[in-house]
Homo-oligomer: A and B are copies of this chain.
Amino acid sequence: MQISARNQFEGVVKEVKEGVVTAEVVLELPGGVEIVAVVTIDSARRLGLAPGKPAIAVVKATDVMLGVPE
């Protein structure tokens, strides 16, 4: 599927921390930048997310805020 979300960043799974309902997944992007996602455990397992596995972080443009230094 090609998806409407404007922001898609390819990386590699660095860490998966499982709770009861949700899992926190840390993705390492090129250049060492990290992006953190909270998804359901079922999603994390269905996608086979595990350290070392390639994955893509997807963020809808309306979910991005902007800040400026004070």
Partner-B contacts on A (CB < 8 A): 1-9, 17-25, 27, 29-31, 33, 35-40, 42-44, 46-49, 53-70
Contact across chains for A55 and B38 when beta carbons are under 8 A apart = no
Chain B nearest CB, measured from A57 CB (Å): 5
Q: How far is the CA of A47 from the CA of B70 in the complex (A)?
A: 10
Q: How far is the CA of A24 from the CA of B40 in the complex (A)?
A: 8
Q: Known: A38-B61, A39-B65, A40-B36. Is A21-B17 also a contact (CB below 8 A)?
A: yes
Besides A3-B66, A48-B68, 20 new A-B residue pairs in contact (Cβ under 8 A), listed by A number: A1-B58, A1-B67, A1-B68, A1-B69, A4-B39, A4-B43, A4-B44, A4-B46, A9-B33, A19-B21, A21-B38, A24-B61, A39-B66, A53-B68, A56-B68, A58-B64, A59-B64, A60-B65, A63-B63, A70-B70
